[in-house]
């Protein structure tokens, strides 16, 4: 088997792996200014997508340029999320150099889409492919690829601890080669329940004191998780931004959600914000909780809520995910100020950060890899891939960390 890393190698973002020059696994983009794409524009016979996050699916419509029509294989939620993200990218960058595809190419996505459930083997570009639940977000998959000689297990993003929204990754099919993500290879998460309890207690304190709590959250996965936590603890909340539509969509795919009833309760516990007639400014004045995009304060209705609550030290901004260097969310955590629409504002409201990660931590990565002691391990999707590969080597693994553009035969 021939493997070429086109992106997501020794980095997080723009994931893309070409197998046997024919089968493309993921085709993501790395947000930033300007956005970055995989190192080469491949012309695959088929595309397989692990899950509906921008860094894995963001550039997929561009594979349908001209008269190219490779089938795209994914789970039903991944298909929906890919379309949500593509439309959002068009809205943000459409018609500019930063947009890798056109509206027409996005429309073609539905024509070539082929959806599959977990554990249903299908054929793609001459390979046998099977998806397994990866426990990251609804519809997220580990991808097993068999070319007749070699079996490749592409973990993509995964979590070995259950979240409220999705249950943990447990499948460990036999494989000769494992491409393993390593986002949190040097992190140990606190137990989920502890993080959740700290979050709820903090929210309750602010509500008791008469403040407003703004909870910036990624639209896909995290927003639903936060709504489920609020509902489980009887905390009333509002929900705003792209996460609203994603919540409605996921209700249509109960088989990819851990507890569909709990998601239903979470949806009815949350009040959906329309944003009309100054509704957001009014909510920001209320003694309530609002879960809103974007998770790193780089856009979305959070840009209205944060300036509205920032001056009052009784209020709270509770970050719920990793803040990438250079984002306004990171700036807020590190320096206590927010840059909104080019204006830098001091923030007197309390700022807190909670690790509701949807990725395995170091123990989780080692737990999965423990089932693949005899396999060749290729570490990707992390900021310290080479260091982690070296640590695995010390544990007796045959591990390496290919760089962007690297090719190898396994």
Instruction: Determine the interface stretch with Zn ion among 78-86, 153-161, 165-173, 185-193 (rule: CB under 5 A).
Output: 153-161
Which residues inside 76-135 make contact with Zn ion, applying CB under 5 A?
none
Instruction: Determine the interface stretch with Zn ion among 79-87, 152-160, 220-228, 288-296 (rule: CB under 5 A).
Output: 152-160
Contact status, residue 312 vs residue 282, Cβ threshold 8 Å: no
Instruction: Determine the interface stretch with Zn ion among 77-85, 126-134, 150-158, 399-407 (rule: CB under 5 A).
Output: 150-158
Minimum distance between the CB of residue 296 and Zn ion, rounded to whole angstroms?
A: 14
Which is nearer to Zn ion, 128 or 383 (by Cβ)?
383
> CB pairs under 8 A, 24+ apart, for 406-409?
406/4, 406/5, 406/9, 407/2, 407/3, 407/4, 407/5, 408/2, 408/3, 408/378, 409/1, 409/2, 409/3
The SS3 of residue 299 is coil
Which is nearer to Zn ion, 53 or 258 (by Cβ)?
53
Instruction: Determine the interface stretch with Zn ion among 120-128, 149-157, 198-206, 240-248 (rule: CB under 5 A).
Output: 149-157
Minimum distance between the CB of residue 284 and Zn ion, rounded to whole angstroms?
A: 30
Contact status, residue 55 vs residue 232, Cβ threshold 8 Å: no
Minimum distance between the CB of residue 35 and Zn ion, rounded to whole angstroms?
A: 16
Give the binding-site size for Zn ion (rule: CB under 5 A).
2
- HSE of 52, CA atoms in CB hemisphere, 13 A: 26
Copy the structure tokens of residue 291: 């879960």
Of 13, 35, 115, 36, whose CA–CA distance to 26 is shortest? 13
Which is nearer to Zn ion, 57 or 378 (by Cβ)?
57
Which is nearer to Zn ion, 53 or 73 (by Cβ)?
53
Instruction: Determine the interface stretch with Zn ion among 58-66, 155-163, 218-226, 255-263 (rule: CB under 5 A).
Output: 155-163
Of 25, 291, 292, whose CA–CA distance to 157 is shortest? 25
Minimum distance between the CB of residue 53 and Zn ion, rounded to whole angstroms?
A: 4
Which residues inside 38-67 make contact with Zn ion, applying CB under 5 A?
53
146 belongs to the binding site for Zn ion (CB under 5 A) = no
Minimum distance between the CB of residue 201 and Zn ion, rounded to whole angstroms?
A: 29
Which is nearer to Zn ion, 31 or 304 (by Cβ)?
31
Pairing of strands 316-319, 350-353: parallel
Which is nearer to Zn ion, 192 or 265 (by Cβ)?
192
Which is nearer to Zn ion, 24 or 358 (by Cβ)?
358
Instruction: Determine the interface stretch with Zn ion among 33-41, 154-162, 184-192, 206-214 (rule: CB under 5 A).
Output: 154-162
Which is nearer to Zn ion, 58 or 402 (by Cβ)?
58
Contact status, residue 405 vs residue 393, Cβ threshold 8 Å: no
157 belongs to the binding site for Zn ion (CB under 5 A) = yes
> How many Cβ atoms are within 10 Å of 147's Cβ, its own excluded?
17
Please tell me the distance from the alpha carbon of residue 1 to that of residue 17, in angstroms, as a whole number. 12
Pairing of strands 376-380, 350-353: unpaired
Q: DSSP string spanning 245-289?
A: HHHHHHHT-GGGSS-HHHHHHHHHHEEEP---TTHHHHHHTSSSE
Minimum distance between the CB of residue 17 and Zn ion, rounded to whole angstroms?
A: 15
11 belongs to the binding site for Zn ion (CB under 5 A) = no
Which is nearer to Zn ion, 157 or 225 (by Cβ)?
157
Minimum distance between the CB of residue 196 and Zn ion, rounded to whole angstroms?
A: 21
Which is nearer to Zn ion, 161 or 331 (by Cβ)?
161
- Straight-line distance from the first to the last Cα atom of the chain, in angstroms, rounded to the nearest whole number: 5
Please tell me the distance from the alpha carbon of residue 230 to that of residue 214, in angstroms, as a whole number. 13
Minimum distance between the CB of residue 220 and Zn ion, rounded to whole angstroms?
A: 8
- Number of H helices and number of E strands within the chain? 12, 22
Minimum distance between the CB of residue 51 and Zn ion, rounded to whole angstroms?
A: 6
Minimum distance between the CB of residue 224 and Zn ion, rounded to whole angstroms?
A: 14
Cis bond upstream, residue 328 (ω within 30): no
Binding site for Zn ion (CB under 5 A): 53, 157
């Amino acid at each position: 088997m021939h493997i070429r890393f086109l992106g997501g190698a020794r980095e997080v973002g723009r994931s893309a792996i070409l197998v046997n020059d024919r089968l493309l696994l993921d085709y993501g983009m790395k947000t930033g200014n300007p956005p970055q794409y995989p190192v080469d524009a491949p012309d695959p016979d088929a595309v397989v997508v692990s899950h509906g996050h921008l860094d894995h699916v963001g550039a997929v419509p561009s594979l349908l340029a001209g008269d190219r029509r490779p089938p795209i294989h994914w789970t039903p939620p991944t298909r929906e999320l890919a379309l949500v993200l593509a439309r959002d990218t068009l809205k943000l960058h459409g018609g500019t150099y930063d947009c890798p595809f056109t509206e027409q190419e996005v429309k073609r996505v539905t024509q070539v889409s082929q959806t599959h459930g977990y554990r249903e083997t299908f054929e793609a570009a001459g390979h046998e492919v099977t998806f397994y639940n990866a426990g990251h977000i609804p519809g997220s998959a580990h991808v097993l690829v068999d070319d007749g000689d070699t079996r490749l297990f592409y973990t993509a993003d995964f979590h070995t601890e259950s979240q409220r929204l999705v249950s943990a990754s447990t499948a460990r099919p036999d494989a000769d080669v494992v491409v393993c993500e390593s986002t949190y290879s040097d992190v140990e998460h606190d137990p989920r329940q502890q993080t959740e309890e700290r979050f709820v207690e903090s929210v309750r304190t602010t509500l008791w004191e008469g403040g407003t709590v703004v909870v910036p959250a990624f639209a896909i996965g995290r927003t639903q998780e936060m709504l489920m936590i609020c509902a489980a603890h009887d905390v009333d909340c509002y929900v705003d931004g792209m996460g609203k539509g994603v919540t409605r969509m996921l209700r249509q795919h109960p088989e990819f959600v851990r507890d569909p009833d709990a998601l239903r309760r979470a949806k009815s516990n949350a009040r959906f914000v329309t944003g009309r007639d100054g509704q957001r400014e009014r909510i920001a004045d209320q003694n309530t909780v609002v879960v809103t995009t974007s998770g790193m304060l780089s856009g979305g209705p959070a840009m209205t809520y944060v300036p509205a609550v920032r001056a009052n030290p009784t209020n709270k901004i509770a970050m719920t995910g990793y803040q990438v260097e250079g984002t306004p969310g990171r700036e807020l955590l590190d320096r206590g100020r927010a840059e909104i629409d080019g204006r830098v504002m001091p923030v007197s409201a309390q700022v807190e950060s909670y690790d509701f990660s949807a990725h395995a931590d170091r123990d989780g990565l080692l737990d999965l890899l423990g089932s693949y002691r005899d396999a060749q391990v290729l570490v990707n999707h992390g900021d310290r891939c080479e260091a982690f590969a070296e640590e695995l080597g010390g544990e007796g693994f045959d591990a390496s960390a290919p760089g962007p553009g690297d090719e190898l035969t396994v």
